[in-house]
Amino acid sequence: MDRYKFTDIFQENLDGSLSPKVRISINGMEFGPEVSFNRGVSFGGVNLYQYKNLDIAAETQEGILIIGGFFK
């Protein structure tokens, strides 16, 4: 797995929500840049706001960035 900065994968929108910059998968749940979410929303059982600004462990498979974990 490769190490990415949170801001390489997610952008913070003007309203404070987050959106992925690329197509991603977390615990089998796949979504892309067309999705935005606010604090408290979980994808694949993960509340990404808890990991905001931490580095991400991920690998690309068939054009999708598979997130495997977070570095604390």
- 30-55: pLDDT as tens digits: 999 999 999 989 888 999 999 998 99
Distance CA 68, CA 28 (A): 10
pTM: 0.88
Tokens of 9: 């994968």
Which residues neighbour 60 within 8 Å (Cβ) at sequence distance 6 or greater?
66
Give per-residue pLDDT as tens, 2-40: 999 999 999 999 999 999 999 999 999 999 999 999 998
Looking at residue 11, its pLDDT comes to 96
Which residues neighbour 61 within 8 Å (Cβ) at sequence distance 6 or greater?
none
Q: What is the mean pLDDT of residues 52-65?
A: 96
